[in-house]
Amino acid sequence: MSEDLQQQAEERTASVVELARELVKRPSRGEVDGYGPVLGVLEDWLALRGLPHRHLRDDDDELVGLLVEIPGRRPGAWWTLDACLDTASYGDEQAWSFPPACGDVVDGWLRGRGAADSKLAAAMFCHIAADLVPRAESLHGGLAVLLDVDEHTGGFGGARAYLADPQAPRPAGVMIGYPGMDHLVVGGRGLWRASIAVHTPSGHSGSSKSVVGAISRAARLVKLLDDAELPGTAGTSSSGFPLPPKLSVTSFHGGEGFSVTPDRCDLNIDIRTTPSFDGHDAETLVRKAVAELDAELPAPTPTEIIPIAAWPPFRLAEDEQPAAVLLNAAAEAGLAVKSKTAGPSNIGNLLAGEGIPATAGFGVPCEGLHGIDERAHLAELPMVYAVYQRAVLNLLEG
């Protein structure tokens, strides 16, 4: 890592932290808060510095992100830095030891919801974009900075609007600013999700008739799903993928009161997929279990399966971009960063479905991610900043 880049990163730290503090102070919980205030902070910052940016809107014309674009003067590929501005919910606010939207710095930690995921990264990426402007004459292709919302809802409205924007150059790769300094996430399991509606005629709970209610039928289906055999164990997949598939029943709702056996019970199913057990395999497994239920405990109305979402798994090799350039920049900085395939899915799965390689999960150390007392450690910020800056320059300088 050059001394010039390291010095520039250290000089930027105070400004990055100040911008991140203002972002944390604007609550932006997915499906809870409006996104206008937090996006407004960044739009004001970008406008003050003359950085080219524009709004991203979804199909309902709702503002779902900002897109910063720094074009080089020479032909080449475009690359994207991405950080979300919406956050997880607060959970039990009484359990926090500080206000969730305080945005203060105490003992070297930036505190508050979004400090780690991912408002500090958003502030950092905006500064890196500003650093590039004086270098534009020598750059190949260009850099886009995607500042999106609707990420924690699972809708990924900002990312989808970016990918659908005919004016935006198609990125050759995306680097997502999730926190964590020990690993660079280069892959993740995919998913297949569905809601299932289990039916029976309703009845009185005190009736002399023997009735298998919807809840009992649904409970039997849960047992069938739990007992279903998923192929492979960690590290033994023939595809070389390091994680096995996983099935979880994540929601179970039906009935009310005491005197009625309900005519419907609804379940949510989440299956994490791999290259050797994909979305088609997941759906086949669920349909087999449902068919077994309807044969074993028949009802006038067949059990319904409503597919909700499907994303493919993805995994980059360490020599594929943009993984290679980030790992190399980290090594130049003296960091021992290892590549990792994540169990949870992330926005990289959405990008993989579009044929766009992505990395995630390299940033400052943090605590309380999606939990109580979320905070991000700032001592490592200059190093992380310099690594991303070096990686971007290596990509854009040809």
Does residue 100 contact residue 112 with C-beta atoms inside 8 Å?
yes
Fold of 190-311: Alpha-Beta Plaits (3.30.70)
What is the reported pLDDT for 90?
A: 95
The confidence score (pLDDT) of residue 4 equals 66
Please give the Cα distance from 67 to 53 (Å, whole number). Answer: 5
Segment 161-181 shows an average pLDDT of 95
- Does the pLDDT value for residue 238 go beyond 70? no
Residue 19 token pair: 């911008």
**Tens-digit pLDDT profile for residues 239-257:** 578 889 999 999 999 988 7
pLDDT tens-digit map of 111-161: 999 999 999 999 999 999 999 999 999 999 999 999 999 998 888 899 999
Chain segment 332-346, per-residue pLDDT in tens:
999 999 999 887 777
Q: What is the mean pLDDT of residues 178-194?
A: 92
246 closest CA partner among 262, 263, 229, 222: 229
Any residues with CB less than 8 A from the CB of 7 and at least 6 apart, and which? none
Strand partners of residue 264: 199
Question: What pLDDT score does 248 carry?
Answer: 94
At residue 210, the pLDDT reads: 67
State the CB neighbour count (10 A cutoff) for residue 392: 25
Say what the pLDDT of residue 5 is.
62
Domain with CATH 3.30.70.360 in the chain: 190-311
- pLDDT at 242 (0 to 100): 87
Q: Does residue 13 have a pLDDT over 50?
A: yes
What stretches of 136-225 adopt beta strand conformation (E)? 140-148, 171-176, 183-188, 190-199, 203-204
Strand (E) or helix (H) holding 24: helix 3-24
pLDDT class for 295, splitting at 50, 70, 90? very high
CATH code 3.40.630.10 region(s) in the chain: 3-188+313-396
Does 8 score more than 80 pLDDT? no
pLDDT at res. 234:
43
Distances (CA, A) of 316 to 150, 275, 276, 283, 339: 25, 13, 16, 26, 9
pLDDT at 88 over 60: yes
pLDDT band at 259 (very low <50, low <70, confident <90, very high): confident
Confidence check: pLDDT of 300 > 70? yes
Among candidates 128, 142, 186, 176, which has minimal Cα distance to 156?
176
**Percentage above 90 pLDDT, the chain:** 77
Q: How far is CA 224 from the centre of its chain?
A: 30
* Residue owning tokens 């700032």: 378
Compute the average pLDDT of residues 173-181. Answer: 94
pLDDT band at 6 (very low <50, low <70, confident <90, very high): low
Q: Is 107 exposed, middle or buried (0-12, 13-18, 19+ CB in 10 A)?
A: exposed
Give the separation between CA 187 and CA 344, rounded to whole angstroms. Answer: 10
Name the percent of the chain lying above pLDDT 70.
Answer: 94
Averaged over 15-23, what is the pLDDT? 97
Query: What does the pLDDT look like over 31-84, one tens digit per residue?
Result: 899 999 999 999 999 999 999 999 999 999 999 999 999 999 999 999 999 999
pLDDT value, residue 224? 96
pLDDT of residue 235: 43
Find the mean pLDDT for residues 246-272: 90
Mean pLDDT of the chain: 91
The torsion of the CA quartet 177, 62, 16, 170, rounded to 10 degrees, works out to 50
Question: What's the CATH number for 3-188+313-396?
Answer: 3.40.630.10
Place of tokens 């497994």: 285
Whether the pLDDT of residue 270 is over 70: the answer is yes
Instruction: Label the pairing between strands 260-261 and 304-311.
Output: unpaired
